[in-house]
Amino acid sequence: MNSANLDKIKKILEQQTAYRIYKDTGIAQTTISRWTTGKTPLENMSLKHAITLTSYYDQLNKPEK
């Protein structure tokens, strides 16, 4: 099930560089930069990007087996 989680998105934007997120997700660095600088509010992000970033957060924070 695809879902978006604003808390996870905020954490991933704090934990990873714009370049790393871009390389791993394909979301443009300028778009990521606009979110991190506050030029574009996170609440205005597309649902597609929100789901992508939430999934990316989940991938990076999977519990080790």
Tell me whether residue 65 is in a domain: no
Q: pLDDT of 37-53, one tens digit each?
A: 999 999 999 999 999 99
Q: What is the pLDDT of residue 15?
A: 94
Residue 62 has a CB neighbour count (10 Å cut-off) of: 7
3-state secondary structure of 41: coil
Q: In the chain, what percentage of residues exceed pLDDT 90?
A: 89
Mean pLDDT of 45-62: 95
Tell me whether residue 44 is in a domain: yes
Tell me whether residue 53 is in a domain: yes
**pLDDT at residue 5 tops 90:** yes
**Which sign does the torsion angle of CA 23, 29, 33, 34 carry?**
negative
Tell me whether residue 21 is in a domain: yes
Tell me whether residue 1 is in a domain: no
**pTM for this predicted structure:** 0.90
**pLDDT at residue 13 tops 70:** yes
Distance CA 54, CA 65 (A): 21
Specify the number of domains making up the chain.
Answer: 1
Tell me whether residue 12 is in a domain: yes
Q: Domain span at residue 32? A: 6-60
- Cβ contacts of residue 64 below 8 Å, gap of 6+? none
